[in-house]
Amino acid sequence: MFHKLDGAKLPLGLRLICSAAIAALTAVLIAIVILSGPAAPGLQAEVAAQLARSGVDNPVTAVLLNFRSYDTLLEVAVLLVVAVATMPAPGRRLRPALAPTGDMVLIGLIDLVVPVVVVVGAYLLWVGAYAPGGAFQAGALLAGAGVLVSITGRFQFSFGALPARAILALGLLTFTVTAAAVALQTGVFFQYPTAAAGVLILFIEAAATISIAATLVLLYGSLVPPAREQESGP
Amino acid sequence: MDSGFLIDLVLAAGVLILAWLSLVATNLFKAIVLFISLGLLVTVVWVRLGAVDVAIAEAAIGAGLTGALLLAAWRRLWSQRRPVRDASGGDDSGGDNVS
């Protein structure tokens, strides 16, 4: 599938022309950016003016989960599509992903680190309403804990099972259902009632965190070579 | 010249050098490690730019999980190739290209 490119170098003249063209294009783009003056102020003033109605104090979370929540919904949907694409076939027999390790240092470290990571992930999720943090960061941290657990080989995640699939879909499901439910009250899809906005955002983010973490662990698990095949080689 | 500007200058140069090194490395393992280092340096750049949200995401996803995914993919390539390589001595490097 991949071929060595060493033997097929471009002629020197062509390489010089290509690098000159790329350098010129880069210089022109940089010049345009510098000459076009200060960047437009953007929508910071509008976001700051409406922040009180968003239910959270962090402008980034307000934009992601309230003002532009449709974009975030689609991001969560993309993650679900990724999960479906890498998911193991239903009913496939579970094989040990890795031989269980006897490395006491690794096991001891993971016993210490994983609970801390889970607590920090929950903190990042909660603090997203006030300061930098949020569902994606918390989900990635939790996924890191999941990867750590799975490299010992003592535990493995079976994403062919029905509960695991429910967890993968939980984020998108909660997001869509909440968006539709608030539409019953306010009349507009994704228009949260101002009083309940903070709680609703935390609720959606919690569900999204779990799905994001599960999707990322699934991605890692789909890449790890099965231990049995490795040993059966000649 | 104040110290903030100097830090930015070193960061910018470091990002460019690491990006270049990870692209030209012929050893896959070396390229992956350089790429993870690049992610960590870019995290510092995001902090310097005041985008702490992006910095956290870059550290967790860009440097951490992408690194883990790349290493898992690298190990998978290596374990598939090993039976063939064992006869000719084999090496522990990630190797260059797979045909």
Distance in angstroms (rounded) separating the CA atoms of residues B16 and B13? 5
Confidence at residue B76, expressed as pLDDT on a 0 to 100 scale: 83
Distance in angstroms (rounded) separating the CA atoms of residues A141 and A133? 11
> Least CB-CB distance to B65: which of A143, A230, A234?
A143
Distance in angstroms (rounded) separating the CA atoms of residues B12 and B23? 17
Please determine, for residue A2, whether its predicted confidence score (pLDDT) is greater than 70: no
- What confidence category does residue A231 fall into, taking pLDDT thresholds of 50, 70 and 90? very low
- Pick from A88, A233, A84: which is nearest to A156 by CA? A88
Determine contact: A3 vs chain B, CB below 8 A.
yes
- Tokens, residue A26: 């880069």
Q: Which of A44-48, A109-113, A125-129 has the lowest mean pLDDT?
A: A44-48
- What confidence category does residue B95 fall into, taking pLDDT thresholds of 50, 70 and 90? very low
**Dihedral sign from CA coordinates of A93, A97, A103, A108:** negative
- Tokens, residue A207: 């569900």
Where do the H-state alpha helices sit in A128-161? 135-151
Please determine, for residue A90, whether its predicted confidence score (pLDDT) is greater than 70: no
Q: Which residues contact A207 (CB under 8 A, 6 or more apart)?
A: A170, A171, A173, A174, A175
Q: Using the beta-carbon criterion (under 8 Å), do A132 and B82 form an inter-chain contact? A: no
- Tokens, residue A91: 């009913």
Condensed to tens digits (0 to 9), the pLDDT of residues A170-199 reads 999 999 999 888 888 888 888 888 888 888
Q: Average pLDDT, whole number, for chain A?
A: 83
Nearest CA of chain B to the CA of A3: how many Å?
Answer: 6
Residues of chain A with pLDDT > 70, as a percent, come to 87
| Residue B14 burial class via C-beta count within 10 angstroms: exposed 0-12, middle 13-18, buried 19 and up | middle
Confidence at residue A44, expressed as pLDDT on a 0 to 100 scale: 81
Determine contact: A26 vs chain B, CB below 8 A.
no
Confidence at residue A6, expressed as pLDDT on a 0 to 100 scale: 55
Condensed to tens digits (0 to 9), the pLDDT of residues A66-86 reads 888 889 999 999 999 999 988
- What confidence category does residue B94 fall into, taking pLDDT thresholds of 50, 70 and 90? very low
Please determine, for residue A1, whether its predicted confidence score (pLDDT) is greater than 60: no
Per CB-CB distance under 8 Å, the chain A contacts of B53 are 60, 132-134, 137
Q: Tell me which DSSP letter residue B64 carries.
A: I
Distance in angstroms (rounded) separating the CA atoms of residues A18 and A12? 10
Domain ranges of chain A: 46-225
Distance in angstroms (rounded) separating the CA atoms of residues A231 and B86? 13
Nearest CA of chain B to the CA of A155: how many Å?
Answer: 17
Q: Using the beta-carbon criterion (under 8 Å), do B53 and A216 form an inter-chain contact? A: no
Average pLDDT over residues A77-102: 74
Domain that holds residue B23: 7-83
- What confidence category does residue B87 fall into, taking pLDDT thresholds of 50, 70 and 90? very low
Q: Which of A8-12, A32-36, B7-11, B54-58 has the lowest mean pLDDT?
A: A8-12
Condensed to tens digits (0 to 9), the pLDDT of residues A28-38 reads 999 998 888 77
Per CB-CB distance under 8 Å, the chain A contacts of B73 are 223
Condensed to tens digits (0 to 9), the pLDDT of residues B26-62 reads 899 999 999 999 999 999 999 999 888 889 989 988 8
Confidence at residue B80, expressed as pLDDT on a 0 to 100 scale: 73
- Pick from A142, A152, A150: which is nearest to A222 by CA? A150
Confidence at residue A16, expressed as pLDDT on a 0 to 100 scale: 93
Number of A/B CB contacts below 8 angstroms equals 62
Distance in angstroms (rounded) separating the CA atoms of residues A82 and B69? 14
Are the beta carbons of A55 and A69 closer than 8 angstroms?
no
Q: How many domains does chain B have?
A: 1
Distance in angstroms (rounded) separating the CA atoms of residues A171 and A220? 19
Q: Is residue B54 part of a domain?
A: yes
Q: Is residue B96 part of a domain?
A: no
Confidence at residue B91, expressed as pLDDT on a 0 to 100 scale: 45
**Total residues belonging to chain B:** 99
Other Cβ atoms within 10 Å of A88 Cβ, number:
16
| Residue B29 burial class via C-beta count within 10 angstroms: exposed 0-12, middle 13-18, buried 19 and up | middle
> Least CB-CB distance to A60: which of B53, B73, B86?
B53
